Amino acid sequence: MRRSALALLLATAPALPARAFLNNTGGSTAQFLGIGVGARAAGMGEAFGPIAEGPSAIYWNPAGLARQEAPEISYSHIEMMRFFHHDAFAYAHPVRALRGTLGVSAALFTQDSLDLVTNRNVPIGAFRPHSEVFTLGYATAFSIGDDFLTNDREFYQDLWYHPQGFRPLDRVNEMWTGNLAVGLAAKLIQESIYDEHSTAVALDGGVHFRHSEIQPLTLSFVFRNAGSKPKFGRKAESLPADVSVGAAYDVSGRDKRFLSAVEAVVPYYGKPYGKLGFEYSMNVRGETWAAVRTGYKSLTAFDLGPMTGITGGIGFGNRRLAVDFAFQPMDALGATMRASVAWRF
């Protein structure tokens, strides 16, 4: 009962009217919250909600933390247009006593120094805008459905009549029988522009579902940035909230793996957009692996051109270490480069 209630809470927590999501043309603050974490996800067009694994899952879909098998730490860095910088740290630790995984993360978004001038455009100093977000998350996984009740059902099965005798009905699992992972993450958000500061709190949540008879398929639902309105001076603006649904299919062999994912995002402000990603990885020697990735994100396609949605990346590592790189062309704004490293203890 408690597990069902938790799953219901995650499904209904972001229940803002669908019409409001689709018709809201206003704006929001704290846009740095939309900067993705990790080069692996970036290389796959950020279609990472249904894939989310490792410490960075706390950003993409907190439910992914439930798959963590050992403590792991990660760091990612992004350079955008040569004067925007984004750094993120994340750590995930399975806790047996809690029957799940705890995750923490911190992200810092900074800009190069800007001149501070008077009304007559006379320089009198400089300042550097910056924003931070600190996150604490938890996720757990459990079985749902009635496949574990089939032994009890044997006592109550109906019989079909056949000319040669009777036989019990074939047992059929319920439609949503499988493994469900759920996760929640609480965030503290801060922004500073010269002598103006704002603070907000927000909640992220998500689910992963794997059907017992279709193990390679993962379905996902995520909501992000549902929380208070940060205020600069007297003006308060909403956070960049959104909801997404996605699916991923994992085809794994002895030494190779092909992973594909698709995700649809509906922001509270702005138009819906889609994400598509692919990853091919293989063992190259012993426990050493290499991966190549590509993807597409339609968010900027209409404003900056369709080519700006293309992403690509590579990665390599072993049982403990993973190093990833990704890029995304942004037309006249220049390419965005990302790098990340993770270490599993």
Q: How far, in Å, CA of 49 to CA of 277, rounded?
A: 11
Q: DSSP label at 75?
A: E
Cα separation values, 211 from 176, 219, 240, Å: 7, 9, 32
User: Which tokens hold the place of 215?
Assistant: 């193990």
Q: How far, in Å, CA of 216 to CA of 247, rounded?
A: 10
Residue 17 is predicted with a pLDDT of 37
32 Rama sector, left if φ>0, alpha if ψ -120 to 50, beta otherwise: alpha
The secondary structure element, H or E, covering residue 43 is helix 39-43
User: Which tokens hold the place of 318?
Assistant: 């072993």
58 Rama sector, left if φ>0, alpha if ψ -120 to 50, beta otherwise: alpha
Q: How far, in Å, CA of 314 to CA of 292, rounded?
A: 5
User: Which tokens hold the place of 277?
Assistant: 């990603």
Residue 152 is predicted with a pLDDT of 45
Residue 174 is predicted with a pLDDT of 64
Q: Amino acid letter at 167?
A: R
Over the stretch 121-167, which tens digit does the pLDDT of each residue have? 888 888 888 899 999 999 999 988 765 444 444 444 444 444 544 44
Domains of the chain listed by start with CATH number: 2-15+22-116+125-151+182-344 (2.40.160.40)
Residue 148 is predicted with a pLDDT of 46
Residues of the chain with pLDDT under 50: 1-26, 148-162, 164-169
What are the strands, taking DSSP E only, across 145-233? 159-162, 165-168, 178-193, 196-211, 217-227, 231-232
pTM of whole model > 0.85?
Answer: no
Pick from 45, 282, 52, 55: which is nearest to 181 by CA? 52
CA triplet 241, 246, 247: central angle to 5 degrees? 165
